[in-house]
Amino acid sequence: MKTVLITGASSGIGQATARYFSQNGWHVIATMTCFDHGKDTVGLPNVSSYLMDVASTASIESAKAEILKKHPVIDVIINNAGIGYRSFVELSHDDKIQHIVDVNWLGVVKVCRAFIPVFREQNFGQFINISSIAGLVNLPLGSFYHSTKKAVESFSECMSYELLEFNISVCTVQFGNAPTAFQSHVTKSETGGIPSYERMMEKITSILHKKTKKNTNLTSEITKTLFAIANKPCKNFTRYKVGFDANAMNFLRSKLGYKLFNRIIRKSVLG
């Protein structure tokens, strides 16, 4: 039985992925920051749950020590943990910026750093780093979230060169708004009473919630894609795109070029 470690497995895509892998013959190491919030994951068959805060090196090292006592071999690590922050640059807060960087980017960095030695000693392993459509294109009010996902893309590709000799593969997975609670948990900045900002926040929030409701099959597409990737690792660094939104955005951005793509986004969002 192969083993996968999934971060942020208490809810959303992480929970759905843990469920899918456990139902299809894998043992799942599910990490999360709170067992109470991850009750549905903890109770799944073939799942071992551990507390781990990806923003904390100490927490990662403590969880790693406990995990390796019972699971000395890990085949795949899915860096899924992530949060959202929708804010205007002018009205952003240092603590909110630091938190999203700590979780979305440095969390991936720290988990990879901690488990590379495990993979290296095994002489095999795979890092699947969850990116986003935000790592593919730049959209309004995404200054901070998109920046972290772009960082995950760059970090993953650079790291992949270092690990080739040790039979360790690296990939990223990009997708749009899945029908989970993620959007409802996104931290949104104040608008400062500025009419333009108020209109933009309302528009963007409405668009994202509508897209989330429409993408009814996206979660299952994502979990099946992650399972397929895990079962057949690609030696060379690869970016996988899942769902209509990610593939459409990639096509439009590559075919239209920056200026025309930017014009379309401005018109659709700002009018």
Looking at 64, 149, 211, 241, which residue is catalytic?
Answer: 149
Domains of the chain, residue spans: 3-270
The candidate with the shortest Cα–Cα distance to 11, out of 46, 45, 49, is: 49
Q: What is the mean pLDDT of residues 27-50?
A: 95
Looking at 11, 87, 131, 169, which residue is catalytic?
Answer: 131
Higher pLDDT, 153 or 252: 153
Looking at 50, 85, 145, 240, which residue is catalytic?
Answer: 145
Q: Please indicate whether residue 150 is annotated as part of the active site.
A: no
- Which residues have a Cβ under 8 Å from the Cβ of 172 and sit 6 or more positions away? 128, 129, 130, 131, 135, 152, 153, 156, 157, 238, 239, 240
Q: Other CB atoms closer than 10 Å to residue 89's CB: what's the count? A: 10
Looking at 10, 87, 147, 156, which residue is catalytic?
Answer: 10
Q: How far apart, in whole angstroms, are the C-alpha atoms of residue 78 and residue 136?
A: 19
Average model confidence (pLDDT) across the chain: 93
Q: Please indicate whether residue 131 is annotated as part of the active site.
A: yes
Q: Please indicate whether residue 20 is annotated as part of the active site.
A: no
Q: Tens digit of pLDDT for each residue in 7-35?
A: 999 999 999 999 999 999 999 999 999 99
Q: Please indicate whether residue 10 is annotated as part of the active site.
A: yes
The whole-number pLDDT of residue 180 equals: 80
CATH topology of domain 3-270: Rossmann fold (3.40.50)
The whole-number pLDDT of residue 271 equals: 67
Q: Tens digit of pLDDT for each residue in 156-196?
A: 999 999 999 999 999 999 998 887 878 777 899 999 999 99
Q: Tens digit of pLDDT for each residue in 95-151?
A: 999 999 999 999 999 999 999 999 999 999 999 999 998 888 888 999 999 999 999
Q: What is the mean pLDDT of residues 52-75?
A: 98
Q: How far apart, in whole angstroms, are the C-alpha atoms of residue 131 and residue 135?
A: 6
Four-residue CA torsion sign, 229, 232, 233, 235? negative
Structure tokens at 106: 């440095």
Taking CA 241 as the corner, what is the angle to CA 128 and CA 117, rounded to the nearest 5 degrees? 10
